Structure 1
Amino acid sequence: MKRIALFPGSFDPFTKGHEDIVLRGLKLFDEVVIGVGRNARKERYFPLDQMMELIEGAFQAHPAVRVISYEDLTARVARNEGAKFLLRGLRNTTDFEYENGISQVNRYVYDEIETVFLITSPDLAPISSSIVRDLHRYGQPVDTFLPYKL
C-alpha cells in the first residue's frame, strides 16, 4: 500500500522552509500531496492560482509531489486523497503547541490519520510566510526565502 502524506497549509506564500519539509517528507513517504487550504473568511495576499502554479513549478522534477487546493476539514481531505499521514513542520515550541491541538482534532475527525512532525532545518527556521509577506508588501526582495521567482 502506498504511503501518502498530506502537507496542508495556506502557503501564502510557500517558502523554502515548506520546500525543505516536502523534500524530507519524500524520504519517508511514497507521495506527498501539498494541500493549499482556501479560507473564504480570509483574504490571501498572493492569489491562490498563482501560488499553486509556483508550487507545481518548484516540484516539477518530483513526480511524487502533487498540489491540490481545498476548502474542507483537513482530515477529510486527507481521507479523500488516500493519505494516512499529515506532514507538518515545526520551527519552535510555539508551533508545537498549536500543531498538537490540531493533530488531536484531526484524529477525532479521521481516526486513521497520523500527524508526522519534522523539525525545520536550523537555517530555515526564521522564515515564516507572514514575515515574507511583510517584506514583500513593503518592497523588500524576498526571492532568497522562496523556492521560485515571483
Structure 2
Amino acid sequence: MGKAIYPGSFDPITNGHLDIIERAAKIFDEVIVVVLPNVSKNNLFTLEERVNLIKTVTKKFSNVSIDSYSGLLVDYANKNNITNIVKGLRAVSDFEYEFQMALMNKKLNPEVETVFLMTSNNNSYLSSSIVKEVVKYGGCISDLVPPEVEKEMIKRYT
C-alpha cells in the first residue's frame, strides 16, 4: 500500500505510539516516523535524543524508519514522494485538531491522504505529557513506555 509518514514530537515515545507504529507497519509497505520539533511544548529530550530512542525501540520493525524534519509536514511528504499520513486518535478532542490538520494538508497538497488509527483501549488515556508528569513525581511508568525510554526518563528526573 505504499509509504506513509507517522509524524509527532514523541517526547517521549510511549507504548501508545508504538501501537500505532506497529499497526501502520501492517498496513503500509513502509512507515517513516518523522520526529518534528514542537516549540509550544517543554521538551524533555532533544530532537536527536528522541530520534535515537525511537530508532532503538522500533528496531524490530523491518519496514519502519526514523527521520526528523523542521517545517510543514506536507513539504516533507512532497520532497519524499509520500501521499499517506498516519495519525493516532485517542479521543474526540484529538479528532477535532487532527481533522483540521488533515484538511489543511489536503489543501496544501490534494494528493495527500490522512489515515486515522484509533488507539487501543489500554492506551486511550496515555500521552507523553501524562508520562512526564507521572515520572516527575516518582510514579511507575513501566507499562506506559518501553524500558529504554523509562530508563532515560528516570535519569532525567533523579
Whether the TM-score (by the shorter chain) exceeds 0.5 is yes
State which drifts further: 111-120 or 140-149: 140-149
> Retained in 1: the 8 A contact 2:29–2:63?
yes
Q: How many pairs does the alignment contain?
A: 149
Q: Secondary structure at the match of 2:79?
A: helix
The equivalent residue for 1:20 is 19
SS of the aligned residue for 2:123 comes to coil
Aligned to 1:82: 81
- What is the rounded CA distance, in whole Å, between the counterparts of 1:42 and 1:128 in structure 2? 13
1:130 counterpart residue number: 129
Aligned ranges 1:1-150 → 2 under 5 Å: 3-40=2-39, 42-149=41-148, 150=151
Moved more, 43-52 or 114-123: 43-52
TM-score relative to the length of structure 2: 0.87
Change (3 A) 1:93 1:40: closer
| Percent identity (aligned) | 37
More helix by share: 2
Residue 155 of structure 2 aligns with which residue?
A: none
Contact between 1:6 and 1:85, CA under 8 Å: does it hold in 2?
yes
Unaligned runs of 5+ in 1: none
Q: Work out the CA distance in 2 between the residues paired with 1:28 and 1:35.
A: 17
Cα offset for 1:82? 2.3
Deviations 1:64-121 (A, max 9, x none): 1011111010111122222210000111111111100000001111211000001101
Taking a change above 3 Å as real, the CA distance of residues 94 and 42 of structure 1, as seen in their structure-2 partners, is closer
> Which consecutive residues of structure 2, in runs of 5 or more, have no partner in the other structure?
152-158
Aligned to 2:154: none
Aligned-residue Cα RMSD (Å) equals 1.5
Q: Does the 8 A contact of 2:36 with 2:47 survive in 1?
A: no
SS in 2 for 1:112: coil
